[in-house]
Chains A and B, each alone.
Chain A
Amino acid sequence: MMDALGQAPTPALSAHASSCPSCGSDWADLQTGFAALGPATPQRTPPLAAEAVRQRIMQDLAPQRRLIRELPFDGLLSILFGTAAAFVSLLLLHSRGLLGGMGPLRLATAAVVWAGVFILAFWTLVRRWGVDPQLGHLVLGALAAAGLFLAGNHLLPLPTVVQWCSTRLGAGLGPLFFAIGTIYAAVPLFLFATSASRRWHPRPKRVLIAGGFFFVLVAPAIFLQCSYFTAGALLAWLLGAVAGSLAASAAGYWLGTRATTQG
C-alpha cells in the first residue's frame, strides 16, 4: 500500500481499499497525510556557493587526472625510481669511503632492503596520489627529507663527526652517536614537518607516519655506515634517529599549525 503513495493506486489496491473498512481508512489517512504536505518547492543552491564548491572539487581533480595520465605504469616506475634512488644513495656513501671494508653479502643485503624501501615509498606516492593527495604529499616530503639527510651526511659524515667529538670532548661513542644521530634526523624532518603542516594541514597522526617513513628510508644508511663500529653504536644511532624523527615531527607540526593559525 505504501508503495502507491503519490501515484495512481493499482486497480487491485483500489478494489481492496473499497471493500475493507480498515485498509480503506488507513489508505485514506495516508493519502490525506501525503497530500497535506503540499507540493515540494524546489530550492536552488545560491550561485556563488554552487560555483565555489564546483571550483574547489575541480581543482582537486585536475592534478590527479594529469598524474594518472602521465604515470600509467606506476609499478614499473616505482621499481625504476626506487632502484635509482638506492643506487644514488649507495654511490654517495661509497664516494665518501663509508662502505670500505664491508662484506659483499652485507652490502648486497643492505642494497636490496634499501631499494625495497625506496620502491615502497615511490609506489605509495604514485598509487595513493590520486586517491589521497595529502598522503602523496607527505610521502613526497618524507622522501625529500631523506634526500636532505643523505646530502647532509655526505657533506659532513656522521661517523666522522662522532669520532671528532669523541677525540675533542672525550665522550663515549654511544652517547655521541645517539645525540648527533638525533640532530641529523631532526633537522631535515623538522623542515619538512613545518612546511607540510603549513601547506597541507595534515592530521598529527599523518605527520608521525611520514616521520616513520623517513626513518625507514634512512635506516639502511645508518646500518651501512656503522660497519666499523660496535652493535651498541649502531643501536645508539638508530635510537637517536627515532628520537629525532618523533621530536622533529611533533615540533614541526606544532610550529606549522601555529603559524597557520596566527596567519
Chain B
Amino acid sequence: MSGVAIPWPVGGRLAQPPGNAGNFMLATVYILLIFLGISLGVIIMNWAERKVLAHMQVRLGPMRVGPHGLLQPVADALKLLLKEDLVPQGADRLVFWLAPVVVVMAAFSAFTAIPFGPTAAVSDLNIGIVFVLAIASLGVLGIILAGWSSNSHYPLLGALRSGAQMVSYEVTIGLAVVAVLLHTGTLSMVGIVRSQIESHRWLLFREPVAFGLFAVAMVAETNRSPFDRPEAESELVAGYHTEYSGFRWSLFMLGEYAGMMLVSAVAVTLWLGGWTRPFPNLHGGGVDVLFSFVPAASFLLLAGLALRAALKMPGHRRWRAQRGGLLAFGGLLLGLGLWLTVPTVRAQSQNVFWFVLKVAVFQYFFIWYRATFPRYRYDQLLRIGWRILVPTALANLLLSATLSLWLP
C-alpha cells in the first residue's frame, strides 16, 4: 500500500479491526462470532451438500427429518455424539487424539486474518496472506498424524497420498498468490481488498490465469473430489480417518468443511474483491441503495419460500410439528430480513453479506465438482500438479510481472 489514506467504503464505529486497535474484548467477541458463523456454515453446508448432490444425481436426498430434511444435520450431529469413540489397538493414543484437533485448529485459526469487511476482521496482519497459507498448511500435519497414529494400513496410505498431494499443490497456490501480490504490493488481507477498491477492478480481471490455477489447486488442497485421493473410498475405505468414529470423526469433517470455506475466503479476498459488492464502480442513481437492500431481500425471499412451504403442507395431524417448526424458521428469516432493512444495520451488514455470498458460491462449486467429475488416479493427480499447474503458474507469474511494467 502506498500510504494513501482511503476513506473506508462503509463507515463503522471502528477505524480498524479490533486486533490492531488492541481491543482484546472485541477481538474475543469477533473470534466467537467467527467460530459460531463457521460452525453454522458447516451445518448448512452439510445439508446443502447432501441436497444439491442428490438433486444433481436426480435423487431427492434427505427428506424425512424435518421438512425437506432441514433437521438432518441435527440428527447427524446427535448420532455422531452418541457413537462409541473407538481407539484402535496399538494406536498412538496421544497422537491419535491430537490429529483431529490439529486439523480443526488449523482450519479455524486461519480465519483470524480473513477480513469480512474493512473492520470486520479479528486482526489485519501485515503478513496476512502468508499467515493464512502457513496456518492452513498445518492441516496436512494433522492428516499425516492421523494416518500414522491409527496403526492401520489404509489410513497410512491415505496420509501418504495426502502429504504428496498437498505439498505439490501448495507450490501452485503459492505461485498463484504471488502473481496477485505483484499488483497489490501488500500482504495484508485488508490491504489486498483495498488495493482492488483503489484500482476499481477485481484482480480476477487482471489475473484470470492465476485465479484458475488457484481454483484447481484449492480443490486439491482441501482433499475434495475430484482430488480426494486421501479418502478414496473405493480403495482406501475412508483414507486417513478410517479408524476414527464419533466425535473425533466429526472434528475431521468440521475441519474439512472449514478448510473449504477458508480457501474460498482466500480466493474471494484475493481475486473477487473481498467484501465489495458486485459492480463496485457503479454508484450514482440509487445503485448503492438498491444493492444495500439485496441482503434484506434475499432473506425475505428465503422467508417467503419457507412460509409458502409451511402453508402448502397437507393439513394432517402428523405434519403439525413440522409445520410449526417451518413456520418458526420462516418467521426467524422474516425477522432477520426486516431487521436488515434498518438503515444502520443495512450499512453495517452488507459487507459481510457479500463476502459470505461469494464464499457460498464457491461452496456450491465444490459440490458441483463432486457431482460431476470422477476421481483422478494418483499419478494423474501428481502429473497435473507438477507438469501442468506449476509450469503454467510460473509462466503466468513471469508474464504478468513483465506485463505489469507497462500495464497498471
Do A and B come together as binding partners? Answer: no
